[in-house]
Structure 1
């Protein structure tokens, strides 16, 4: 059994309607270990830096060829995959029940993975109003064109998705501080994630949001051990961020903030020859940055099945096609799936926690079975 009991309400007092999760799964065994990391310091002051917490949930009978490794996004931990804030079983349970070995991680320097003052970088956080705008009350507070389509966040009543609502309070209670730079985060996860793959062998990666580049970097480092990538609204777009966060340079390597292998080789990201589309693909979408022809290739990612899932109402709906197109231009055929086009309407960015989360998980399960079997 994977379980979580969570209580609380405004002012720190328990409320009778607070969601409580007692999540029954098909887990036969639960193992916990740490992957990666190294000792730093001298003279009796050594500490382990960069180790990543890993939780392995094994079903009573494994029926799927490859395990699934879940990587959470910014401010999140593995809690994302265990239960929803309104107390339903999460995607970990869904995939266990269908015969997958499941691995859940807390990114290095996050959650149950140690952060060391003076060694690891400065931490940052999301405020509750920011979470309302980005994830839970987008229809009312989002500042992107698709925001008004958001209908799937759980809860009822006029305060749904806002501070003081029991479901929102549970979700916001799960948010934690995280490293302020994506480059540091990606470097740490590449090291620890490579160690994890070396330990468990071939696997499927399911990444969300900030974790999107982890999939590309781990596939680059261990192409024989990454059998498929399901990238749910990956950190993007390439080169320049959305105005939702204030347009600024990012992902200088196209799909990552740290080096990734190109052919012909690239020693410095500034030497990538890039251009921006003059007009977007269609209204309400961002114009994408791309390489000028002939585009350098990402040779280590070729042959790995990849799908990018985009929800109908998220701020990512404006630009995740840019990430998929960058990959395809670099010789990595990438499937783009907009959930509304397969009948899954109204989702926001935290799709694994929303009312129809199991419907989305079922699509992913079907894609994996079709792709890998």
Structure 2
């Protein structure tokens, strides 16, 4: 069979690795959470339409209906894609993406290898992938938003610690061929409305209420929504694994000062003591990758994640002081090297997943 140009570019050998076929018991998608808004007035199913013979008839109908009151808009929900493997474990993994991303973060890698979706299905975990409200498949927003067409690929290349464009960091585990980088840039997707932690964590709460107990896995910006989901649904969220989260909720009276960087500061989040206590009742693991400076750096990615790693360690100390169970894993310190901000897509994503699987087993979350 002739190889397609697509699979040639993405490394056919990687995309068709000799793994056994996956056995899926069931799969599907649904929406959870969200709200509905209604326009003023009373809906008339037969509005008067003034036809403009030079305009498209459908647009005339549409424009007339926009003046027709009493209509509803269903939005701000989370969209979920799930797969349940044969002989599934009892506790599913729920995956939430980070900034500018969607569930594609977990589905595959830029060079066509299996992503954490398949890797954990092979470990018999039910997998639920989330597109947060106002992003990706959940694009219907109840607030107005503007989507700009500002070129910014090089900013994200630096922020995600791939290197200093166009050069990759030495030894970085991200696939460095042009086709893979092209695929990575094309997985970026915009918000259709304002990023709202409350709306997103409400969607996660609704998801866990529907599926029951499970473990939440977050990435980057999704981390802050994950902490608040843990506060809102502590009975169902049995553990949280956070991949390079950007901020952390400290209890009132113990919030550290703003932590500074030449590339942007972090103001730590604040919650009540009662809400904070809920996060001390579940095991939590936090991962950070490579190329994070130990001191102020002139390199964007190194310095931005220096302050986030430092804040993560401060937060872990506070949670553990209150009886919690937080572990911060800086991957180079445990012998796993080269990881970018996207360790679930890096060349060693299976090795990082294996470390996470070991933690799940240690905490009794692999039942």
TM range (shorter): 0.7 to 0.9
Question: For residues 357 and 15 of structure 1, what CA distance do their matches in structure 2 show?
Answer: 20
Q: Structure 1 residue 22: deviation in Å?
A: 6.7
Q: Which residue of 1 aligns with 2:360?
A: 368
Q: Which residue of 2 aligns with 1:57?
A: 83
Question: For residues 339 and 126 of structure 1, what CA distance do their matches in structure 2 show?
Answer: 32
SS at match of 2:133: coil
| TM-score, normalised via structure 1 length | 0.74
In structure 1, runs of 5+ residues without a counterpart are 1-6, 9-13, 254-259, 264-296
SS at match of 1:168: helix
Question: For residues 128 and 355 of structure 1, what CA distance do their matches in structure 2 show?
Answer: 21
Question: For residues 327 and 261 of structure 1, what CA distance do their matches in structure 2 show?
Answer: 17
Question: For residues 16 and 71 of structure 2, what CA distance do their matches in structure 1 show?
Answer: 41
Q: Which residue of 1 aligns with 2:184?
A: 171
Q: Structure 1 residue 229: deviation in Å?
A: 0.6
Question: For residues 187 and 250 of structure 1, what CA distance do their matches in structure 2 show?
Answer: 18
Q: Which residue of 1 aligns with 2:284?
A: 306
4+ runs deviating over 6 angstroms: none
Q: What does the per-residue CA deviation read over 1:254-290, in whole Å, with 9 as the maximum and x for residues that have no partner?
A: xxxxxx4424xxxxxxxxxxxxxxxxxxxxxxxxxxx
Q: Which residue of 2 aligns with 1:326?
A: 315
SS at match of 1:243: coil
Change (3 A) 1:136 1:307: closer
What is the correspondence of 1:1-373 to structure 2 with a 5 Å cutoff?
Answer: 17-18=9-10, 25-42=22-39, 43-62=69-88, 64-116=89-141, 119-123=143-147, 127-135=152-160, 137-138=162-163, 148=169, 151-155=172-176, 160=177, 165-178=178-191, 184-236=195-247, 240=258, 243=261, 245-247=263-265, 250-253=267-270, 260-263=271-274, 298-314=276-292, 315=301, 316-330=305-319, 331=322, 332-372=324-364
Question: For residues 165 and 347 of structure 2, what CA distance do their matches in structure 1 show?
Answer: 18
User: How large is the RMSD of aligned CA atoms in angstroms?
Assistant: 2.8
In structure 2, runs of 5+ residues without a counterpart are 40-68, 249-255, 293-300
Deviation larger for 85-94 or 124-133:
124-133
| TM-score, normalised via structure 2 length | 0.75
Change (3 A) 1:78 1:199: same
Structure showing greater Rg: 2
Q: Structure 1 residue 201: deviation in Å?
A: 0.7
SS at match of 1:119: coil
CA contact (8 A) 2:154 2:165 kept: no
Question: For residues 123 and 325 of structure 1, what CA distance do their matches in structure 2 show?
Answer: 36
